[in-house]
């Protein structure tokens, strides 16, 4: 049975491995959205008389008819419980269907249960990196509940505007779960933004009449975009690293500087992504992991030389990838070592390479912003304009060209 995205399965099984003297225990099996629960019927049946295909007791004896009638009634009761939950527009999970069948009193939907439901429902559609952020947000709100409100959970009806302002204050005064990633203002706002998305799921499913946080607008501080200037990039490119892992990471970082690809996109590259472009040259053709937007990037000479360097690498041959990529966490850790060695005081992360491509490599060399937007795989050019605003040299060059074309007059 499938309705509105939910699936229900009801059947009966006999567990022969738990049987004795030719009889085995009978269980009711309920399956909801792929999750399964098995409930003992507290009865033993002849294992050899059980029809596993039809989930019925074989034969035409009065005993068989009585048992099969009883099983049909139980099956109907489970289906009725399922429809009751739908009619009341309540969350449908294996637990809610099972508990309603068993007559266990329904407890009000809570914040932590809502997070669990969201994370389970979205695990197929969200990237692991994004889903992991929701787990972290849930941990922070659980910590807030315990340390400030002295409870382990809270019903959705208790959520008020002040819950968010209290959380914001709590976060500003608390230590981060991850010491390497302190909770600054924007990080706190991201956690609140995720909570609003989770609560909005409850509103859409009519478990809440309205969003209690509708009036709370997360405010983000616009930070300067970190990128390498030409001198810093050349410094990293020319540095001789005797430690192989640093040499790997430097090459991958530089590759991203000349392609604009993010870590996840570089990680996913294989030979299939190398195609001949309209100009007869090699291009990278891929879909961005983040938004599934297609990206077509002509391979610049510096990027091609890195691909050539690693085409016979052992890790490349084993994985079938174009480059030997470490985990993102390790990459960023090693990039900090590289920054120290090269005397770069900026917080060097792999994403800085993408920013460098947008600024130093393309916009700063006169590539039109519309082209840069396509190369980066942005859905909107307004996203790309963020990079254009940070390049003083680009502004200077544009004004220089303007001076050359404007007629000079004396007043």
Neighbours of 234 (CB within 10 A): 11
Q: What is the dihedral of CA 321, 324, 329, 334, to 10 degrees?
A: -160
Domain ranges of the chain: 2-102, 111-204, 230-400
pLDDT of residue 284: 93
Residue whose entry in the numeric block shows the structure tokens 């289906």:
79
Alpha helices, DSSP H, located in 123-175: 128-147, 161-173
For residue 258, the SS3 value is coil
189 CB-near residues (< 8 Å, 6+ apart): 218, 219, 220
**pLDDT 10s per residue in the chain (411 long)?**
655 567 899 998 888 888 788 888 889 999 998 889 998 888 888 877 887 777 787 777 788 888 888 889 899 999 998 998 888 777 788 888 888 888 765 556 789 989 998 998 888 888 887 899 999 999 999 999 998 888 888 888 889 899 999 999 999 888 887 766 678 888 999 999 999 999 998 888 878 888 899 888 888 877 667 899 999 999 999 999 989 899 999 999 999 999 999 999 999 999 999 999 889 999 999 988 877 888 999 999 999 999 999 988 888 888 889 998 888 889 999 999 999 999 999 989 999 999 999 999 998 888 888 999 999 988 888 888 877 766 666 667 677 777 888 777 766
**C-alpha to C-alpha distances, 80 to 9, 11, 75, 86, 207, nearest whole angstrom:** 13, 15, 9, 10, 20
Inter-helix orientation angle 369-376/381-389, to 10°: 120
Question: For every residue of 297-353, which 3-state class applies, written as one string?
Answer: EECCHHHHHHHHHCCCCHHHHHHCECCCCCCHHHHHHHHHHHHHHHCCCCCCCHHHH
CA dist 195 and 32 (Å) reads 26
Q: Which long-range contacts (CB under 8 A, 24 or more apart) does 345-352 make?
A: 346/226, 346/228, 346/232, 347/226, 349/226, 350/252, 350/253, 350/256, 350/262, 350/263, 351/262, 351/263, 352/226, 352/227, 352/228
How confident is the model at residue 237, as a pLDDT?
A: 95
Distance CA 238, CA 360 (A): 17
Of 130, 129, 111, give the one whose Cα is nearest residue 201. 111
Closest Cα to residue 197, out of 142, 250, 126?
126
Rounded to two decimals, the pTM is 0.60
- Helix (H) / strand (E) element for 114: namely helix 111-121
Listed in sequence order, the residues at least 6 apart from 203 whose beta carbon sits closer than 8 Å to its beta carbon are: 209, 210, 211
- Residue 60 has a pLDDT of 74
pLDDT for 333 equals 92
As a three-state string, the secondary structure of 174-220 is: CCCCCCCCCCCHHHHHHHHHHHHHHHHHHHHCCCCCCCCCCCCCCCC
Architecture, CATH, for domain 230-400: Orthogonal Bundle (1.10)
pLDDT value for 395: 65
């Amino acid at each position: 049975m499938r309705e509105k995205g939910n699936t229900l399965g009801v059947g009966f099984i006999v567990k022969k491995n738990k049987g004795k003297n030719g009889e085995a225990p009978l269980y009711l099996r309920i399956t909801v959205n792929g999750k399964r629960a098995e409930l003992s019927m507290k009865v033993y049946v002849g294992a050899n008389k059980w029809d596993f295909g039809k989930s019925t007791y074989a034969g035409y004896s009065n005993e068989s008819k009585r048992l099969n009638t009883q099983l049909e009634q139980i099956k109907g009761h489970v289906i009725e419980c399922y429809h009751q939950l739908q009619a009341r527009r309540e969350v449908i999970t294996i637990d809610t269907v099972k508990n309603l069948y068993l007559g266990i009193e329904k407890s009000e939907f809570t914040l932590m249960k809502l997070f669990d439901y969201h994370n389970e429902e979205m695990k197929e559609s969200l990237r692991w990196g994004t889903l992991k952020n929701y787990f972290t947000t849930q941990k922070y709100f659980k910590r807030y509940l315990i340390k400030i409100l002295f409870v382990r959970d809270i019903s959705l009806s208790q959520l008020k505007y002040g819950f968010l302002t209290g959380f914001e204050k709590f976060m500003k005064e608390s230590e981060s779960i991850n010491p390497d990633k302190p909770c600054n203002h924007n990080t706190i706002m991201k956690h609140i933004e995720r909570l609003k998305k989770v609560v909005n799921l409850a509103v859409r499913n009519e478990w809440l009449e309205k969003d209690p946080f509708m009036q709370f607008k997360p405010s983000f501080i616009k930070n300067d975009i970190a990128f390498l200037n030409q001198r810093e990039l050349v410094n990293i490119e020319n540095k001789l690293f005797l430690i192989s892992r640093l040499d790997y990471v430097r090459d991958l970082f530089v590759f991203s500087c000349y392609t604009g690809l993010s870590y996840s996109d570089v990680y996913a590259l294989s030979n299939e992504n190398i195609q001949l472009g309209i100009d007869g040259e090699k291009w990278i053709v891929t879909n961005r992991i983040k938004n599934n937007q297609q990206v077509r990037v002509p391979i610049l000479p510096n990027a091609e030389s890195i691909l050539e360097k690693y085409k016979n690498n052992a890790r490349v041959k084993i994985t079938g990838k174009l480059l030997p990529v470490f985990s993102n966490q390790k990459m960023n850790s090693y990039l900090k070592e590289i920054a120290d060695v090269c005397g770069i005081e900026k917080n060097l992360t792999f994403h800085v390479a993408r920013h460098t491509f947008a600024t130093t490599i393309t916009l700063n060399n006169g590539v039109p912003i519309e082209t840069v937007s396509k190369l980066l795989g942005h859905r909107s050019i307004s996203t790309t304009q963020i990079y254009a605003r940070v390049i003083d040299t680009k502004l200077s060059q544009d004004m220089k060209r303007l001076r050359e074309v404007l007629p000079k007059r004396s007043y």
